[in-house]
Amino acid sequence: MTDHKFGMVALIGPPNAGKSTLMNRFLGQKVAIVSPRPQTTRNRISGILSTDTEQVVFLDTPGIHRLRGRMNRYLLDSAWNALAGCDLVVVMLDAALYASKLHLFDKEIAPLVKPVSESGRPVLVAVNKADRLKDKPALLPVLQKASETWPDAEIFPISAIKGQGADALLKAIVERIPQGPPMYPDDQISTVPLRFMAAETIREKLFYSLQQELPYGTAVEIEQWEEDAQAGRVHVGAVIYTSKKNHKGMIIGKQGANLKEVGTRARKELNEMLGMKVHLDLWVKVRSGWTEDPGFLRAMGLGE
């Protein structure tokens, strides 16, 4: 397979730039959870795109930020580790944000510039959410800033959610990855286990159901997974951890309404993902200080 290409591509950028949405767009199905809130991705998630002529492994990384705390350090480590193992870097920027607040560009991009440069990898820049700009000339200062920051990079205005410009970006990615045989079966779309994807699905539904900042103090762990392949069903038991006692009631909701809604939405998506009937049980437990607990964070797949 001398003409076959294989490459690892790191998707790097500030929180809420649309990295997960872009990866899901390339794969044609959902692998990483998405939400309108920043810092949704906590683990480095790999999505695999396979064709007859190439296999691209996308590394969807947590957003680069300056927040403190043990969990946030682990998030940054995960992103930087992706740089070390990739063949190409795609830097993602939020065009809609910087078009209206250009002064934020330098502040948010500063932590990225040196590590990306020192990685020695080729760089492409995806200026995402361009579809949100009604005043198209407002995009020009953002493109100029990106060009000045990465003068050797090709820059692509795109809309990950609508697909605009995504094909051109993917073509450029494939052109730049090295030749090599595929590393994964052509029907494998991710390197993460089903249990992890199930936990992430539940966590995503929490993001959408809780309008406050609660989701950042929550974690989901799958405690039970009993699969009956012959009957086409699986029993999943998951624990939602929250860091504060007063948040438990908010997650559960009045007479359990919110938890029931989260379970219904998650179960529907899991049915489609697993191709079998899912019975889902959810519990909510308080675990104070879990974001600073190294053992718990490792159990959640962080800090490894």
User: Mapped to the 3 state alphabet, what secondary structure does 148-193 carry?
Assistant: HHCCCCEEEECCCCCCCCHHHHHHHHHHHCCECCCCCCCCCCECCC
CA atoms within 13 A on the CB side of 17: 27
Q: How many angstroms separate the first and last alpha carbons of the chain?
A: 34
* 21: number of Cβ within 10 Å: 22
Strand, helix or coil for residue 108: helix
Q: What pLDDT is recorded for position 296?
A: 67
In what order do the strands lie in the sheet containing 218-228? 218-228, 233-242, 277-286
Task: Check residue 42 and give its pLDDT.
Answer: 47
Mean pLDDT of 139-161: 94
pLDDT at position 40 is 46
Tens digit of each residue's pLDDT (9 = 90 or more) over 159-189: 999 999 999 999 999 999 999 999 888 888 8
pLDDT-derived band of residue 251, with 50, 70 and 90 as boundaries? confident
For residue 90, pLDDT over 50 is answered with yes
pLDDT at 302: 58
What share of the chain has pLDDT > 70, as a percent?
81
**pTM > 0.85: yes or no:** no
Q: What is the pLDDT of residues 93-123, one digit of tens each?
A: 999 999 989 988 988 888 888 888 888 899 9
Structure-block tokens of residue 165: 């410009």
pLDDT band (50, 70, 90) for residue 277: very high
pLDDT tens digits for 32-80? 655 444 444 445 567 889 999 999 989 877 655 454 555 555 555 555 5
82's tokens: 């992706």
The predicted model gives 119-129 an average pLDDT of 93
Q: What is the mean pLDDT of the chain?
A: 82
pLDDT of residue 64: 54
Structure tokens of 189? 């779309």
CA dihedral 226, 229, 230, 236 (to 10 degrees): 30
Are 13 and 63 in contact, with CB atoms under 8 Å apart?
Answer: yes
* CA angle, residues 272, 278, 279, in degrees to nearest 5: 155
| Residue whose structure tokens are 């879990």 | 290
Is it the case that residue 140 has pLDDT exceeding 80? Answer: yes
So what's the pLDDT on residue 5?
Answer: 95
Angle at 27 between CA 64 and CA 108, to 5 degrees: 15
Chain-centroid distance, C-alpha 198: 14
| 7 close to 177: Cβ distance less than 8 angstroms | yes
Q: Which of 143, 148, 108 is nearest to 128 (CA)?
A: 143
Q: Exposed, middle or buried: residue 147 (CB in 10 Å: 0-12, 13-18, 19+)?
A: middle
Q: Are the CB atoms for 22 and 16 separated by under 8 Å?
A: no
**Contact 32/23 with Cβ under 8 angstroms?**
yes
The one-character DSSP state at 252 is H
Task: Please check the confidence at residue 23 and state whether its pLDDT lies above 70.
Answer: yes
280: nearest Cα among 233, 217, 228, 210: 233
